[in-house]
Amino acid sequence: MPIFAYDNLFQLRSSGSSLLMQVTPAGRLVHLYYGHSLPEGDYTLADFPPTPSQPSISPNSPEPDGIDSVGTALSEYPTFGLGDFRPSAIQAVGEDGTRVLDLRYHCHKIYPGKPRIPGLPATYAADDEAETLEIELMDDPTGLIVTLVYTVFENHPVITRSVKAFNGGQKPIKLLRIDSLALDLPENRYDLVHLWGCWAMERTPERTPLIHGGMKISSTRGASSHTHNPFVALVDHEATEEYGEAMGFAFVYSGSFQIQTEVDFAGQVRLLMGLNPDNFSWTLNPGEQFNTPEGVMVYSDQGLGGMSRAFHKLFSHNLIRGPWRDKDRPILVNNWEATYFNFNEEKLLSIGRSAAELGIEMLVMDDGWFGKRDDDHSSLGDWFVDHHKLPEGLKSLSDKLHEMGLKMGIWFEPEMISPDSDLYRAHPDWALHIPGRPNSPSRWQYVLDMSRQDVQDYLFERMSDILSSAKIEYVKWDFNRNFSEVGSALLPPDRQGEVEHRYMLGLYSLLERILTAFPELLLEGCAGGGGRFDAGMLYYAPQIWTSDDTDAIERLTIQQGTSYCYPPSTMSAHVSACPNHQTGRVTPFKTRGIVAMGGSFGYELDLTKLSDEEKEEVKRQVALYHELAPVIRNGDYYRLENSPTLAAWETVSADGTEVVASAVVPMARIVNTHFVRLRGLEEEASYRDMDSGKVYSGGMLMHAGINLTPYRLRDRDGVMIRLKKVE
């Protein structure tokens, strides 16, 4: 089994990683080790790693405890107020008004499988796939019981973490901060990798050496955000894509978050991950429990690429769920960039007829089909069909599309409300707001208070009526503005700090209700593009609109950045029109297809305006993607290069017999020689190029590489090379 407990020692062993911790004589839980897997029973670190000397002005432990000071000890879940001046994982206010917590070991239990976290998305595992350790810590003066929950996956280099806080005392306790994951490391030899960006430029990788003092990656926007993603990695200074140590941390949550690092005077590193404390508090009355979202830890000794592939496998098989987890997604065309708000039934049907002729499988009707929605100034919340655009309603449109052999999808933005809407006129209190303060509109819309059960019930009723009125197989669930003036009319003043997290619990509850009522529905997440691309949403939506920027050259960085944590199959990627609507760039149709085939493939343009040559290219792309989809969904993904002159990536099928390598030249040079060295092949095996028929050894492909010069790639040209293992 992967979890071992001997006296006061705990060893957790996943497939490829180990975590060791120990209870001190005084009952403190200290961290010993996290990294490459250690042999079972290897407790040579159990005498404690040496702690740095403390200046005399720092408090010492009040009792003999085997550690010089809590201020320098490696803590498994650090608290506030006892002399550890580094950031704490938890802060709470008890009856005496102070924030001091002294959590001491009380008991533990080990059991097979993995528990669900009530009301929250999380990874899952069968009893024979994982084992769970719960360690209960207690603060005697307040009666606060904090349970650290660790699940170890036997077949992945993964340990997940979450926390339960239970008020076992007689008086209310107010939580001000409660992180899901804390990790102390004894020395600083790491760079921090994170994904930054903005609207239409999401998830750009940035690598920075950890510095003395603190670094923070966070969102206070009510969403995981375009600006920062709830993922970071700590990597050796010398680590590359395929070599060296990389530790990845992902937060399974879609709201405001914080990931914090601190390097102390001795070079020790602390990493914390959890809910953003800036607008958070939670009152725990006696007998009540609070559950944190889940944090996921991945260890790799095969660089960033090995870390990414571990995340991909875990999320593909132990986070995404439902019938679409193991099925290829339909190739769709979305009408947004084709028509924006200016469409009617006949325009949609004309696009549908072209789609059917070209082999596309689904038409998705985007924003503008409801209320009086001729622009983005009104009608959010009024989820009733606009009979001026669709005079015969949704069923007529759906029936006609299905007669053509097409599936139908539809766009919703359930969490928003327009001030110019019948819903807002009837229920202005349903919007997040603070009495006495004006609401700040963004995109002419406010945010519905999803913490309210009546709001959730209204949305479930309206969405259920729409989805039941016609045959609709797909929903694009959008979210186009961030939070401001966060307040709920139903909570008292002293509990307004709970609104943001209650909002997320309400959103997750509604998503669960919709998917339970419509279990075959394919849900695609969206938030102004990729503003909520996180593991929390993947629990409900197996694919997410990666970015509103559909430019193929821009998507090279966006999609490779996203792949640091998230599987390619989760990235919705579409061929769009040129000149591109966001950048004005003109890119060959073939290149647009190659880039879009790096994810869940589709089209975002007016198919009726394509030339005969472009229509033939669409037919070729559709047929090709049907062949590639199983490889992309289940294969091992490798980032080969991403520079101003060359972007290249590769997928190797799960059984190692098929290889898809793609390359795009964003900017050609006069001397334009490139060799693309593949990865993940067998040295002695032979691989046949399915276009040229040439046969190469795996060693040649990985060490000498494929010479791209004969392809004569100019600006924005691309090539896809398919190889098959010769048996």
Tell me if 213 sits within 8 A of 263, measured CB to CB. Answer: yes
- Whole-number pLDDT of residue 7: 84
Percent of the chain residues topping a pLDDT of 70: 97
Q: pLDDT per residue over 695-718, tens digit each? A: 999 999 999 999 999 999 999 999
Q: Is the peptide bond before 172 cis (omega within 30 degrees of 0)?
A: no
Residue 299 corresponds to which amino acid? Y
- Whole-number pLDDT of residue 613: 97
Is the full-model pTM beyond 0.95? Answer: yes
191 is catalytic: no
Point out the least confidently predicted range of 16-20, 64-68, 542-546.
Answer: 64-68
- Whole-number pLDDT of residue 100: 95
- Whole-number pLDDT of residue 346: 97
Q: pLDDT per residue over 4-31, tens digit each? A: 998 889 999 999 999 999 999 999 999 9
- Whole-number pLDDT of residue 55: 60
Per the residue annotation, which of 478, 534, 551, 717 is the catalytic one? 478
According to DSSP, the residues that pair with 167 across neighbouring strands are 144
Here the tokens at position 590 are 């073939």
For 340-439, where are the alpha helices, taking DSSP H only? Answer: 345-358, 393-403, 422-426
Question: What is the residue extent of each domain of the chain?
Answer: 3-318, 332-631, 642-726
332-631 has which fold? TIM Barrel (3.20.20)
Query: Over 90: is that where the pLDDT of 241 sits?
Result: yes
- Whole-number pLDDT of residue 673: 84
C-alpha dihedral (562, 565, 571, 573), degrees to nearest 10:
30
State mean pLDDT over 214-222.
97
**Separation CA 370–CA 392 (nearest Å):** 13
- Whole-number pLDDT of residue 6: 87
Which residues does 562 contact at the CB level (< 8 Å), separation at least 6? 195, 202, 203, 530, 533, 546, 571
State mean pLDDT over 373-392.
97
State mean pLDDT over 369-395.
97
- Whole-number pLDDT of residue 45: 63
Residue 34 corresponds to which amino acid? Y
Using alpha carbons, select from 50, 122, 82 the residue that is nearest to residue 539.
Answer: 122
3-state helix, strand, coil in the chain (%, to 5): 20, 30, 45
Which residues does 97 contact at the CB level (< 8 Å), separation at least 6? none
Numbers of helices and strands, H then E, in the chain: 12, 38
Query: Over 80: is that where the pLDDT of 46 sits?
Result: no
**Separation CA 298–CA 307 (nearest Å):** 6
Measured CA angle at 719 (ends 242, 612), to 5 deg? 150
**Separation CA 451–CA 500 (nearest Å):** 8
- Whole-number pLDDT of residue 53: 61
- Whole-number pLDDT of residue 670: 82
Same fold, 332-631 and 642-726: no
User: Kind and range of the H or E element at 660?
Assistant: strand 658-664
pLDDT classification of 41: cutoffs 50, 70, 90: confident
Per the residue annotation, which of 102, 179, 382, 548 is the catalytic one? 548
Tell me if 138 sits within 8 A of 104, measured CB to CB. Answer: yes
Query: Over 80: is that where the pLDDT of 533 sits?
Result: yes
Q: pLDDT per residue over 408-435, tens digit each? A: 999 999 999 999 999 999 999 999 999 9
642-726 has which fold? Immunoglobulin-like (2.60.40)
Query: Over 60: is that where the pLDDT of 50 sits?
Result: no
Query: Over 70: is that where the pLDDT of 115 sits?
Result: yes
C-alpha dihedral (422, 423, 425, 427), degrees to nearest 10:
160
For 90, 96, 135, 178, 301, the CA distances from 164, given in Å and listed in that order, are 11, 22, 10, 9, 31
Tell me if 716 sits within 8 A of 552, measured CB to CB. Answer: yes
Give CATH for domain 3-318: 2.70.98.60
End-to-end CA distance of the chain: 37
State mean pLDDT over 42-66.
65
548 is catalytic: yes
State mean pLDDT over 440-447.
94
User: Kind and range of the H or E element at 311?
Assistant: helix 303-318
State mean pLDDT over 491-510.
98
Sign of the torsion formed by the C-alpha atoms of 121, 126, 128 and 129 = negative
Here the tokens at position 136 are 């209960």
Other Cβ atoms within 10 Å of 589 Cβ, number: 18
Tell me if 273 sits within 8 A of 249, measured CB to CB. Answer: yes
Mean per-residue pLDDT over the chain, rounded? 95
Q: How many residues does the chain have?
A: 727
